[in-house]
Structure formats: structure tokens, C-alpha cells
Structure 1
């Protein structure tokens, strides 16, 4: 298992042990540094620290800051033999445990994009909910049936994960590598493709429903799951008592408002309501605006902090 590394930051006075921890989880194709791309006045980690929180930033396995392994070399194919299900089952719970053990407190959680997908999948199976005080999910991803980016749709229908790793022999998705560059160039030549913003265009979806890893071959799925198709994560199984803050944008082509509405239906149908479910809709925001937008502090972060203070 690769180590998912969490870095810690604390500005201002006060002992770290007395400060409420907050864990930040980044999205797909980036690492924890994405939270720090703006100025200190605009970046969520600095804003949280200035408000008295003890800030921890996670990095998914395989990213620049999380590439170590107890026995495998990142250059080997075996090192990359994992799926995001492993992050759900192993990595994120381990990171949360790490923060809890070093602070003696339950942290709040902030996820963006894939950071929300991992959290929602984990919560739906009862993971981490007893170790966290609450979760703020920015651009939440649980359904992708309304995804509007053509390259995302094409890659999804082509079973992007298996196509890249199995057929082309590419383990790490490195956009600068010749193999991936050639693959993306091929997709981008297709009519209607807009490849100027891969951050919001590239994703791997199947039929719009969040499921466990698909081994493609029915026999392999049966051996792993006891059924021919991988089981779906049940968003309605997220405990109704667990506090959630969901913020999404009207110009988001990945976390589409119609798909967020499906997630909200699941949550409310099973009893999520009142102060345990806070929903913020911002029609002018796109996917990356929730992390690097200059207006995110005023439109999003202040409300996130107010939400956290309700569950101190």
C-alpha cells in the first residue's frame, strides 16, 4: 500500500492541540498543492488557519508528494495496480486516523471533486463518519449521468481506466508522457472536443452511477463481488445524523446541477435534513472555481467556516 501523506499547517498563535483540525482532500489529476495556488488571502488552507483551525492537506497515493511504498518502486507496474476503491477502503480512513491520533480530535473534512466522490463512497459504507465531525463537499460527485464534456464521455465509454493501464501499458496518468499525450491528442481531434481545460474535461465514468471498480470480465466481477456487474455505492445509506455541507455551481460541467439533485434526492429520501444537510447553489461558479476562484472566499469559504463552527 502506498503512503498517502498529509501535511500540516498552522498560522497564528495557539497550541496546535487546542485548534480544531480540518482535513482537505484534493480532486482528480492534481495533488494537495492545488489548495495553495491562490494568494494567502484567497486560499482555503490559509483562511482556515487564520480563523484558528489546524489545517491538514492530504495527497492521494501516486501523486508527487505521496509516492513512497514499503516495497514497490513507482517505476514498476505493480506499484500502480490499484483503483480509487483502495483510496475509499484503505487510504482515506488511514489519513483520518492519522490526523485523529496526532491531534486527539475529530477533524472536519473538506473535499473537492474526486475528494467528494471518495468521501461519499466511504460514508455510504459507514467509513469515517465516526471519526469526523462533519464534511464540506465542494462540487460533489456521486452521479455523472449529465456530464457535458465530450472528452469525458468518450473516455468513459472507452473504459478509460482499463484502456490506459491494460491496453496501452500506461500505469501512472502523467499528462506530459508521450503515451498519454498521444492518447489525448487522438481524442482531441474528434469533432466537438474541447481540450483546453483537461481539469474539468477528463474523468472516468461508466453509466453515470458511482460503482465499485469494474473488472470488465463478468467472471472477475463475480469472483470479487458475487455478481456480474460491480455493485453501486448507495448514497442513501449515508447516516442521516452526519452533518454535510454541499456547495455546487451552475456552470460546472463535471458536477452537473442535475446530478447533484440526484444525490440530494437520495440524502433527503433517507432522512438527511435540517442542520444536518446544508446546501449552497452558486449559479455563476464552475468546477475549479471552488478551489482557485478569486471569489471563493466570499461566496463559499465563509459559509464553510460558519458550518464548521456549528459542529465544534
Structure 2
């Protein structure tokens, strides 16, 4: 039976933070412990190197699609990499196509949507169905590591959490796409990509530019996120995460994290051979060669502060801005002793929303999705579509071999219905 990462076992606040940190790291980097990347997924059959020339060249143009590498600068100076796929492989249907923006989750980048064969990849499926596709890469990931005045070697470059993705990144990209196309934008988010759009909408952002949103494996509440390694991780270290890894870049491929994971795997009864299953729930539909590509290309860096903020969401069981830990610090940043909450009931009730979640997802737990749906209980009935996929885990939504038929077909139909 899975152990619970959070307050239900009486863990201390910072033990809980460590717990969620390990969940997020191990989710995308199991080969830190076993470099062979084998386990239940099979051997790495690919000798492909991670892209150096950009996502378009490595993963889109090679399949016969047009693709543009673009840059978007946020109001706080971060230069984001964005890929545009303006049409399908056939090139049929020129004219004003409906733009759709695709946002990945934490510790990965936009390439994570393009690891299966082209007929199974969501961005290319959308392009073939007549959409103008835009893929976003969050600040700090490999192609979004530039700033107008700072460098990634400076701690100040990493002084942000998902609050800044809400305030700066999403609005900047939405503004850019809206100005380029002159049309309202459809949106697809996975995991953290769902959290930041929900939080943005709750603050009145994006509402004039967003046409509809598809939320895959939605994250808003993390009260029931579970992992078989959670309690072991919580007991392994005492103290703040920041004392372990610093308040700057959190690099999952760095030695401090690798050594931390190896120490956890030394615990009796901890199976580090099939960590993806242990941490996301049972993913029903992953191809071994795709998982090998995933492990070759991911994970990506994020800020330690971002992971701390996610840990706070688990610990405090509420959706709110980053907590600076002391009332006087919060007062300095927010004008009040406690961080302001994101009120999801403020999301416009007439905005078309599609939610798809899995019965085996240990990160987007069905009970937490239930809490999200409760927050949306006043949403217009004809504007809220919900899909439950009994066998799906967290990773199935982005690299599942049958996601085209199980989920993506419904996403396309949803967007077309609300066009």
C-alpha cells in the first residue's frame, strides 16, 4: 500500500517538503540510480543525442512539418524558447488557423511532447487537424536559459517559483501568440502546466486571450499525492531543502541529487529499479524505446524555489503564493503576514474547460481532482467536459502509445466543438 506524502502521517513541515521534492526528481530521473535505464521498460535502444540545434530541427522538421524557432521575452527579462508548427504535414488549408499553445510540466521541456512517432505526438496531431501549434519551454530549461541582464550562473537568475510562471511566462507567451495571430488561443497543459493556467485565470489573467483550455493530468491540489518512497525520503534528512541544494538552480543531473537518491535506495525494502511506476502510479501504455528517449533528453533544471513552492502546496493543503516562512518576510512581499491564496472560483464560469485524469495517477490523485472539480462546481455545465481514464498514470498523458485514441482525439474534438 502506498505511503502518503503529506500531513496525514504526521510528518514535519520540512520533511513533507523533502518528500515532494524526491517525488518530483525521481519521477523524471530514475536512471540517476541505475544508469542502464533498463528495468521494466527495456534497454535504451537509441543512440540519439539530445538536440543541440533546437526542437524544430531534431523532432519536427525531420518528420516533414514546417517549424519555426522563436523567442519571447517576459516582463522580468527571461527569454523563452517557443516552437511554432504553423500547419500539418500535408500543408493543406492555408489561412487563419486556430492557434493552440502547449505547456509542459515541471523538470521537463517542450520536447517531452515529441518523443513518440509523429502520428502519436499531440503537437503534430493538432497540426494535422488544422491547428497553428505553439510549444512553450519554461524558464530554466535547456533552450530557455537566457535573460536580458542575468546569467544562469548567478543565483538571482533562479529566484523564482511557479508564481512567476503565472505572473510573467504565460502572459508573455499568450500576448505574443495573440499579437502574431490576431486570434484567441486554445491551451493544452500537463501537470504543472495545468496549475499555472488555473492560477493565472483565478487572478483575471489571460481571460481576454484564452478561448478554451484542455487540462491533462490536472494539478491544483496535492493533498493526496502518494509515493512508495515518501516516508523514507522524509526520514533521511532533517532541515530545509534549501540547506541541501541551495536557493539557486536545481539540476537533477547534478551530483548532490544523484548522491541523495543513491542513499535512499540503500534503505531495506526500497525498490529503485522501477521508479517511474513507483512514483507516478502504474503507467499502462508506455513504449520502452520512448521511455529510453525520455530518459536521454530529460530532466531539465528548475529553480529550487519552485520545488519548495510545490512542496508547500503539499504541506499546507492550499493553493497560495510562495510562503517566505516568516510573517515579516511575507509582509514585505505581499503586505500581509500570510501568502495570498489563488481562488479558483474566480475562473470565468463560461470558459470552456476539458479535464482528463487517470485512475492510476499517483501525482494527480483522483481525490485531488475531485477537489478541483468541487472548486469548479459553479462552472457552466455545457462548458466543462471531464474525462476519466481508469488505467492511465501520470506519464501516459504525454508519451502513452495509445494516448492518440484515448485522450488526444477527445482534445481535438473539444477544441473543434468550441471553435
TM-score (norm 2): 0.68
Q: 1:168 to 1:74 in 2, by over 3 A?
A: same
Of 72, 76, 81, the residue aligned with 1:5 is 81
2:374 is aligned with 1:297: no
How far apart are the structure 1 equivalents of 2:393 and 2:232?
A: 21
Deviations 1:34-67, CA, capped at 9 Å, x for gaps = 0001110111011101111111000000001111
How far apart are the structure 2 equivalents of 1:136 and 1:99?
A: 17
Q: How does 1:148-297 map to 2 (within 5 A)?
A: 148-151=226-229, 163-164=241-242, 167-169=244-246, 171-190=248-267, 196-197=275-276, 200=280, 204=311, 205-268=314-377, 271-297=378-404
Deviations 1:212-266, CA, capped at 9 Å, x for gaps = 1111122111222233332221111211011100000000000000000011011
Unaligned runs of 5+ residues in structure 2 are 1-76, 282-306
- The aligned counterpart of 2:8 is none
Deviations 1:11-45, CA, capped at 9 Å, x for gaps = 23257651111100001110000000111011101
Deviations 1:146-170, CA, capped at 9 Å, x for gaps = 111155677799999x624x55326
Of 106, 109, 113, the residue aligned with 1:31 is 109
SS at match of 2:320: coil
Of 46, 53, 63, the residue aligned with 2:124 is 46
Relative contact order (C-alpha < 8 Å, sep 6+): which is higher?
2
SS at match of 2:140: coil
- The aligned counterpart of 2:300 is none
The 8 Å contact of residues 330 and 336 in structure 2, kept in 1 or not, is answered as: yes
Q: 1:265 to 1:47 in 2, by over 3 A?
A: same
The 8 Å contact of residues 109 and 141 in structure 2, kept in 1 or not, is answered as: yes
Query: Rg larger in 1 or in 2?
Result: 2
How far apart are the structure 1 equivalents of 2:403 and 2:229?
A: 27
Deviation (angstroms), 1:171: 2.2
Deviation (angstroms), 1:4: 2.2
Segments of 4+ moved more than 4 angstroms: 14-17, 150-160, 187-195
Of 183, 187, 200, the residue aligned with 1:122 is 200
SS at match of 2:357: strand
- The aligned counterpart of 1:309 is 416
How far apart are the structure 1 equivalents of 2:200 and 2:265?
A: 34
